[in-house]
Structure 1
Amino acid sequence: MTANTGEETGGTARRPADAGRETCWRGQQIRLAPLDVDDAELLHAWRCDPKAIHEIGFWPRPLSSLRERIESYIATYDRDDFLVLLPDGTPVGHIALTDQDFVDGTAEIALMLAPEHRHRGLGTDALDALVDLAFGELPLHRLAADTHTDNHAALAALARSGFVREGVRRSVCLHRGRRYDLALLSLLRAEWEGLERPRSWEL
């Protein structure tokens, strides 16, 4: 998982709320809509946020490159990408279920929130919704996530969604001349079944 949930805010490109955009899944506070190539400019602005660059490790790339990458996301069958929306259609983040392996029943989760929408519980809500999609509609057994060990907001959101910290990859990332450790987390189907919270289809 990559997460952008820190306190810093910065200028981001804003797209008008689109209350008419088709959504396919929901959480308590959010809705999920399939990611589209036209969302590239929005994601590009979020990826250029200093907190995202630091905590996720994105190196800003040209908008054209991101547009091509989103096209490849849409074309592949081993991942599903969604724009996270408020009920009024305001885009607040990007979440994805990647590296799906239906033979072994595994996948990974990635999440990025817009700077101005952090610390409102939206990340946990989006995680819960995607976890319900993964275990409620797909034959998956294990979901994995990772983030810097000092990305406390992401670690807290994952813990609230039931993810268990299972290890650390030491000195994995180089950023600003410093090495960072990567925390590894996972959630198993049996653990999800034991969570006492409403499922997305019950909301």
Structure 2
Amino acid sequence: MIRGEKVCLRPVRRSDLDILHDHANDVNFESEYNYFGLKRDQHLQSAFDSDGLLSTDFGTLIVTTLHDQFVGSVSYHPVRYGPGVSSLHYNIGISLAPEQRGKGYGVEAQQLLADYLFRTYPIGRVEASTDITNIPEQRALEKAGFTREGVLRRAQWRNGEFHDLVLYSKIRGE
């Protein structure tokens, strides 16, 4: 478990799968920025059985309060900017329950996840992207120590159209 001042990050437990599955198919939970259409039934079960939702290819951690109340989840996946191991970095994402937003949980969860990735893997950068209209997440990333790098034009297909994303990064040692 990774403990902060407000939240903890922990591996997904089997008992979390129903909650995660329900949220994965709920546009109100995922919000307009994280909803990419319906996911197949029990898709999380097979992934959990395979690697516990923690691997170098894709990882998910549960975000809880210090008293183990579910807040949401964070995830990471690799991105590459060239061949070879030294070009591997991670992109992170977050999904918080609507009633848990605006409390600083997302800021700390993203800080904790970036720190965890830097301690665990030989990477030079952690990055995150968000919709250009998602101002609360842009503020959260900046408070978490990420630097705005620029706009990725028409980079994401969601809700029947392309959307521009803002790219943020945190470099090892920052």
| TM-score, normalised by the number of residues in structure 1 | 0.72
Q: Deviations for 1:129-171, whole angstroms, at most 9, x for unmatched residues?
A: 1122122343221001111111111111111111111122212
Check the 8 A contact 2:129/2:168 in 1, yes or no. Answer: yes
Q: CA RMSD in A?
A: 2.4
For 1:103, the equivalent position in structure 2 comes to 85
Q: Deviations for 1:14-33, whole angstroms, at most 9, x for unmatched residues?
A: xxxxxxxxxx1111111111
For 2:16, the equivalent position in structure 1 comes to 39
Shift of the 26–155 alpha-carbon distance from structure 1 to 2, 3 Å rule, reads same
Check the 8 A contact 2:27/2:35 in 1, yes or no. Answer: no
How far apart in 2 are the matches of 1:156 and 1:142?
Answer: 19
Q: How much has 1:92 moved relative to structure 2?
A: 0.6
For 1:142, the equivalent position in structure 2 comes to 125
Shift of the 25–186 alpha-carbon distance from structure 1 to 2, 3 Å rule, reads same
Q: How much has 1:127 moved relative to structure 2?
A: 0.9
How far apart in 2 are the matches of 1:160 and 1:136?
Answer: 20
How far apart in 2 are the matches of 1:62 and 1:45?
Answer: 11
| TM-score, normalised by the number of residues in structure 2 | 0.83
Higher relative contact order (CA 8 A, sep 6+): 1
Shift of the 73–169 alpha-carbon distance from structure 1 to 2, 3 Å rule, reads farther
Aligned residues: 168
Partner of 1:190, secondary structure, is coil
How far apart in 2 are the matches of 1:51 and 1:73?
Answer: 25
Instruction: Return 5+ residue gaps in structure 1 as ranges.
Output: 1-23, 192-203
Shift of the 100–38 alpha-carbon distance from structure 1 to 2, 3 Å rule, reads farther
Check the 8 A contact 1:79/1:100 in 2, yes or no. Answer: no
Q: How much has 1:46 moved relative to structure 2?
A: 2.5
Check the 8 A contact 2:12/2:62 in 1, yes or no. Answer: yes
Counting aligned pairs with the same residue, the percent is: 29
Higher percent of residues as strand: 2
Partner of 2:42, secondary structure, is helix
Matched, 1:77 2:56: yes
Instruction: Return 5+ residue gaps in structure 2 as ranges.
Output: none
How far apart in 2 are the matches of 1:107 and 1:37?
Answer: 25
For 2:36, the equivalent position in structure 1 comes to 58
Shift of the 179–79 alpha-carbon distance from structure 1 to 2, 3 Å rule, reads closer
Check the 8 A contact 2:23/2:29 in 1, yes or no. Answer: no
